[in-house]
Amino acid sequence: MRRANLNSWLLAAPLTGVLVVFLILPILLIVAVSFWSSNEFSFYPDFQFGNYEYLFGSAVAWKVFGLTFMMTVIVWALTLVIGFTIAFFLAFHVRTQKWQMALFLLTTIPFWTSNIIRMISWIPLLGKNGLMNQTLIGAGIINEPIQWLLYSSFSVCLAFVHLYTLFMVVPIFNTMMRIDKSLIEAARDSGASGFQILTNVIIPLSKPGIMIGSVFVIALVMSDFVTTRFMSGSQLANVGRLISNDIGLLQYPSAAATAVVLLITVLLMIGAMLRLVDIRKEL
């Protein structure tokens, strides 16, 4: 028994070492730096709560956190609806596994290019003189270009949905493919309608995939500042941009404090979701 336990610890030691060096230690260092002091030219070790007091006492920071949370909820809801619909279609309406894999790979085509290129591709479509406005004007629906299509919260959320929907499709599709089709046939033979089968069979059995996809989307959207910068024309800011701006100004303690608060916020959101379902069944 002791030898078996020793072998288990030895097998886990390499991965544990990697996690400690590349995950736990950096996070601990960020937490430590968040209590340091800084001036206009440098930062130095200290233990004070000034960075957190400034962050929680700043109306701008609260506004940025609120905007980040709002966009995260919107993007999560849209990616969930779109991702669930695509996964449902692939899993239950495409009959052959060959076509399922072919159509699933088709959804990955946008990931063959970089995020920057995919974001920039929206500009000719949504711009003031873009294809969307020109089409609406030509059809007589509007008389002048719509200004909020680009460089606004709308364009930022649209880009997020475009970038991260696949992270919702993959785990949901993987979960749906594991659902025993005989359960659906039994429900149908018992007189259940299509909506009842969806709400009472498919959605409950798809919860682990939904939770995994939600974790990916929330974590990515909360921390992504490049998309917000490009698609808002630098007119909007999220928490990631606050951190980026502080780093650019060499205010590392302030950036670290914001990063710690962001990490805690994301962990609380994910923890609340994981209480609804045990995703360890999927891992």
Domain regions of the chain by residue span: 58-281
> pLDDT at residue 31 above 90?
yes
Residue-wise pLDDT for 268-277, tens only, equals 888 888 777 7
Distance of CA 27 to CAs 32, 49, 102, 253, Å? Answer: 9, 18, 40, 13
Q: What is the average per-residue pLDDT within 31-42?
A: 85
For 115-129, what is the mean pLDDT? 83
Read off the pLDDT of each residue in 79-84 and give the average, rounded to a whole number: 95
Percent of the chain with pLDDT over 70: 96
Write out the H or E segment, with its range, that includes residue 44.
Answer: strand 43-44
Instruction: Look at residue 142 in the predicted model and tell me its pLDDT.
Output: 81
pLDDT for the residue 68: 92
Please compute the mean of the pLDDT values over residues 2-7 and round it to a whole number: 68
Is residue 35 pLDDT above 80, yes or no?
Answer: yes
pLDDT score recorded for residue 218: 92
Task: Return the higher-pLDDT residue of 173 and 95.
Answer: 173
Which option is the CATH number for 58-281: 1.10.3720.10, 3.30.413.10, 3.40.50.300, 3.40.50.720? 1.10.3720.10
Computed over every residue of the chain, the mean pLDDT equals 86
Q: What is the mean pLDDT of residues 89-109?
A: 83
Query: Average pLDDT of 9-16?
Result: 83
Express as a percent the part of the chain with pLDDT over 90. Answer: 28
Global pTM value: 0.87
H or E element that contains 38: strand 37-38
State the pLDDT at residue 283. Answer: 54
C-alpha 157/C-alpha 72 separation (Å) is 8
pLDDT digits (tens, 9 = 90+) for 41-58: 777 788 888 899 988 988
Angstrom CA distances, 157 to 61, 267, 271, stand at 20, 22, 24
Q: How far apart are the first and last CA of the chain?
A: 27
Q: What does the pLDDT read at residue 2?
A: 64
Q: CA 97 → CA 94, 107, 173, 205, distances in Å?
A: 8, 15, 13, 20
What confidence score (pLDDT) does residue 213 get? 92
Residue 260 has pLDDT above 80, yes or no: yes
Written in H, E and C, the secondary structure of 56-77 is: HCCHHHHHHHHHHHHHHHHHHH
